[in-house]
Amino acid sequence: MHFMVNGEKKESDAKTIQTLLDELGIESKVMAAAVNMNVVKKELWESFQLNENDKIEFLQFVGGG
């Protein structure tokens, strides 16, 4: 399937947010996920089904000062 992940085109066989995170190797940095502008709670990442052409945003919180 094809996705837009943080503004970049990606091709993947991932069916869920969790499998996509595992494939991209960025899970430990991600604090929030949104699919098509809808926030998906972390406890749903393993079951939330992705669809062709979904727009996925993985968000990281960065401290500053």
Tens digits of per-residue pLDDT, 5-44?
A: 999 999 999 999 999 999 998 877 778 999 999 999 999 9
pLDDT confidence of 60, banded at 50, 70, 90? confident
Q: Is the pLDDT of residue 62 over 80?
A: no
Q: How confident is the model at residue 30, as a pLDDT? A: 79
Question: Rounded to whole angstroms, what are the CA distances from 4 to 9, 43, 60, 62, 64?
Answer: 5, 22, 17, 22, 28
CATH fold of the domain at 2-59? Ubiquitin-like (UB roll) (3.10.20)
The rounded distance, in Å, linking the Cα atoms of 1 and 10 is 8
What is the model's pTM? 0.86
pLDDT confidence of 65, banded at 50, 70, 90? low
The rounded distance, in Å, linking the Cα atoms of 14 and 9 is 14
